[in-house]
Chain A
């Protein structure tokens, strides 16, 4: 039996087994759950070689499974994040309802994502895509609240994307007679001009929905915040990257004859930049951590889309690097929110505050993830951001640079809001009982956060597989031109040498931290956050001094003109318009026999009229 079959079978069987094991024993179920993700991951990374394919034929369709070098990058995200989150999920789901179905969907969506990466033909690609969509949809409605609003939104958008993709696949088949992706790529340059635009756009709609591109992002905030946090890490970290994966395939391999700077690419890049700016602004306005991270995910995906659309070597490097980094830090942050929600019961900034002394490890992980998200050296996010800016400047996209820079500067606002809202500020009596999350939840967070740190000093570790993957889809080798193990360069040869920077930063930080820590340490004692200079008043235990309402009101007032327009509204208007049309249609059926008689007469008259006119 081929290894790929085995892996997919383990996923499928593991999902079913885990679901039924829950009826027998909880520990058995948890163990099966972890094993059915861990074992395929180990098998995949040890026994599956890139660029070796197997053919199979089912029901007359020729299929081809195997992993490309390019897909291998994304399999790192999917399986790496999946394994780490699965440990977290066991602890997160302890004592909740419907654990079995959660595990089932979790395993299934990981398996489906790997299946998407493995499938080299459109039939299996589409099937796995649908499995992924369905399992994630079930996760979105897992909590059972707001199914109408959020679940349906997600479902409708996914369906629209899927139909667009299906249409593209059918068109492809009618032209090439084959479902293989490579065939389409080979044939594509000879197609007519219409097809050159139509096929990529249809695919883009399909992938753009998953990667939450600008006009198609409306489902994302609700869906991300409504799923259990253990899954949202995967949802935002890995599942949305499937859209990026597809988009790269389209942008690069399908339309590789469209030169850089073509209007098609420009439009996508601008859409990405708008996604980034608006997503960031909306994230700043949120008071709920899940919503904030959801909008932030949208914004981060905007950077990635921009990078993909620009399509130079450096831009691709940065987009893929940011994809991996985004999986790392957004995974950490969603897990941290999950931990806080589990320990306190809420994820609202206006309610929780001052957890730093109660959940120090969660804070540490969040701090590192936030620094990576903000793109501050020496952590990994900086490398991706740097490469994105340099690629934009080098390829003459000056306004895009400003937009992206604005978005990532404004990102500091919500970064600070996240840290301040949960961990800093007044320690209230209400949260005095809160304890640190269990080790099984904390350790995965720390591991992922440490990943961002290592990649900040040695981006070459992950850039070399990315380089291999990019060479597989037709790019030049980039090592030495754009990156070394711990150096990043731009097209003009300007460099950032990360290693001494990291050392220097740490030396300075340690020096001053120790100076502040040890100077008159014996005479320094800790005082509570109630012991502050508040005009001589002594705040009482129950008096809440936390500042969390309207946190960035002055800023939001300044950007108000942009915020006033919501894309949501347009969709709602559209939906309402459709409803009105349907409503009108319904009115035709009055239920009165006389009216129907009139309809028949009118119809006959019209027929006669036509007959006379056309054939008379």
Chain B
């Protein structure tokens, strides 16, 4: 009965509804983007009306929000944080730096394309994106969840070896617990 396909579908719809209206965000405040989060959350733009809420630790979070350029040193921590999050989990890349390197395109220590290292569900472009853009990004993520297309975590799990290869290329000293869920 529980494994019935139709009932599973209904369960999925309900679960997705809950998930998309309750996004706990872990804002990994790298770069200049961290300053855009407070206005997004507070009175003027009020992201809480979409059920978006800050989470303090990766264990509780659903969305990893990467707010700017990532140096190789920070990338290691971000990967660790992402792997500590529990399924289902989503990643939002925030600002040009995460998309193509932005103004740091020729720096010796910042990565340029985030989705080679982590499965990004939604990119928000701009340098910096305004809070409106951030909220638009969240709404886009919500519609992806509703359609069941936000499957970054699954992508990561399936292509783990490839991701690992990319990650290890920029992080020579790789000391991290196994990722096996």
Interface positions of A (Cβ within 8 A of B): 523, 525, 527, 530-531, 533, 535-538, 540
Contacts and interface: CB of A to CB of B under 8 A. Distances in A.
Nearest to A533: B57
B157 interface: no
Nearest to B58: A533
B170 to A, nearest CB: 16
A537 B181 CA distance: 20
A533 B176 contact: no
B181 A538 contact: no
Given A530-B177, A538-B176, 6 more contacts: A525-B180, A533-B57, A533-B58, A533-B81, A536-B81, A538-B177
B2 interface: no
Contact of B175 (A535, A536, A538): A538
Interface stretch (B72-80, B93-101, B119-127, B160-168): B72-80
Contacts of A537: 77, 80
B116 interface: no
Interface of B: 28, 57-59, 76-78, 80-81, 84, 175-177, 180-181
Contacts of A531: 84, 177
A523 B58 contact: no
Given A523-B181, A540-B175, A535 B77 contact: yes
Contacts of B80: 536-538
Contacts of A523: 181
Contacts of B59: 533
A320 B175 CA distance: 59
Contacts of A530: 177
B2 to A, nearest CB: 14
Closest 9 CB pairs of A and B: A536-B77, A533-B57, A536-B80, A536-B81, A533-B58, A533-B84, A531-B177, A538-B176, A533-B59
Contacts of B77: 535-537
Nearest to B75: A536
Nearest to B84: A533
**By CB atoms of chain B within 10 A, which of A523, A525, A533, A538 has the most?**
A533
**By CB atoms of chain B within 10 A, which of A525, A536, A538 has the most?**
A536
Contacts of A525: 180-181
A527 B83 CA distance: 13
Nearest to A528: B177
Contacts of B181: 523, 525
A85 B8 CA distance: 59
Given A533-B58, A533-B84, A527 B76 contact: no
A530 B175 CA distance: 13
A463 to B, nearest CB: 47
B5 to A, nearest CB: 21
26 contacts: A523-B181, A525-B180, A525-B181, A527-B177, A530-B177, A531-B84, A531-B177, A533-B57, A533-B58, A533-B59, A533-B81, A533-B84, A535-B77, A536-B28, A536-B76, A536-B77, A536-B78, A536-B80, A536-B81, A537-B77, A537-B80, A538-B80, A538-B175, A538-B176, A538-B177, A540-B175
Contacts of A536: 28, 76-78, 80-81
A535 B175 CA distance: 15
Contacts of A540: 175
A535 B56 CA distance: 10
